[in-house]
Amino acid sequence: MITHADERTENLVLPGDLAKLSQQAVFAAGGREIQRLAAANLRRDGRIDQRVEALEAALAQHRLHFRRPGPDMPRDETVGPAEGVLGGVALLRHAGKLRALRTKSSEFWLSATWLDSTGVLGLRNLSRMKAGADKCILVVNSGSSSLKLSLFDREADQLLRTGKELREFAEESIATVGHRFVHGGADFSKPVLIDKRVWSALQNIAELAPLHNPRAMKTYEEARALFPNAAHIAVFDTGFFHDLPDRAKIYPTPYQWYSEWGIRRYGFHGISHEYCAGQARFARRLVICHLGSGCSASAILDGKPIATSMGFTPLEGLMMATRCGSIDPAILLHVARHRGLSLDEIEQALNKSSGLAGVSGVSSDYREVVKAADAGNARAKLALEIYRDSIVAMVGAYAALLGGLDAVVFTGGVGENQAALRAFVCERLAWMGLDLDAAANQTCAADQDIVTAQSRVRVLVIHTREDLLIARAAKAVLP
């Protein structure tokens, strides 16, 4: 619960009290029941500035030590001074020792997820929010079924606010706009300033991601008209997978298709996979499952991708909301030759009328399919079985490629919010030594480990931050 700062100051903690806050007290203050902590909106109050500054200075020197359970995981992690300030403030607030804290020109925001009464996975979204929005970075994230807009400070460190329509940001001072483009083709592996040459190339490859790139291009044109003086940067989903090993990116088709036509596995959701790989960098052998309207998996070894499920387009791989995923290519020849379907009709069917929607006949929304299955709809139940089995099979295959498994990540709208799906997948991976904590899985918030301390494989539910990586990538392009 967020407690807003008010005029009372009698409960402020003096620096001297900090000495009483032992490491054991820190752990005691954070039990399993703590899922998210939010500090107050902090504003200037001249009467307490001195006391606040003294408290901040003391907290900055107080380094918190958090333990991570499990094999192959570091036993201790030291959180630096800035995080110590925020962590100390939040823990004191939770203990009821700190009612209000105000500073001259900033506010604190903290979110934490706790593993158990004696250890914590880590602090998330630690930031010191600056007042104002001078020369901001706007992130435009166009997905297959959504448009997400995020405004960051000029350093791409602090999320200022979010929105759903470009005109909501018309009055902001926008210096840079970072656009997510799903497919970069053979020409683009890194973020790039969109000029006439780049725009022409993007138009030429739009058909490779028919659910994504055309929509991103339309949004770009709207943003360019709204922010004509801003630098517009394209950030590509395919970038993270650009350097896949040849054995993973080259299809077993005639080699000339690759060497002369550029037919290869590009991989998608790369921004999300890159973020999750960074969050789970303790794991040498990692499988990431990004499950949303589009679904993909990746195998990560020592921080680098060695395989991914999506291919030349975002159609390959796992079963998805409206996309079929991997099927026998000869089916396409058959329906063209014997059922008279045109190429456009086949493309429409595979991209927009297959997956959960096509099999269930109910909806492309995973939640609606679950409701229908629970009500006895046989096709909805079948759709869920195919969907779940495809994930289990992919994780198992990638575990074999990696020579074992240290961690699995679930992310995306479905991956983060469907506990029953995670339980199904994890139960079928129990033979790897994966021991799911049923209670933690059912009640978990974002950025949490949901297995027992005895589990040989960690399972992390991570709230992906494509917006953050896009903002940072866009900033890095400019001098």
The two counts, helices (H) then strands (E), for the chain are 17, 16
Q: Is beta strand 136-142 parallel, antiparallel or unpaired with respect to 174-181? A: parallel
> Kind and range of the H or E element at 346?
helix 343-352
Phi/psi for 265 (5° steps) reads -80, 120
Exposed, middle or buried, 184 (CB in 10 Å: 0-12/13-18/19+)? buried
Structure tokens that stand for 189 in this block:
């592996």
CA distance 91 to 70: 25
Catalytic pick among 116, 153, 237, 449: 237
267 torsion bin: left (phi>0), alpha (psi -120 to 50), beta (else): left
Residue 464, judged by CB atoms within 10 A of its CB (0-12, 13-18, 19+), counts as: buried
Q: How far apart are CA 177 and CA 286, in angstroms?
A: 32
Catalytic annotation present for 237: yes
Comparing C-alpha atoms, which of 236, 142, 234 is closest to residue 189?
236
What letters, b where the CB count within 10 A reaches 16 and e where it falls short, cover 303-314?
Answer: eebbbbbbbbbb
How far apart are the C-alpha atoms of 395 and 392, rounded to whole Å?
5
Which residues are marked as active site?
237
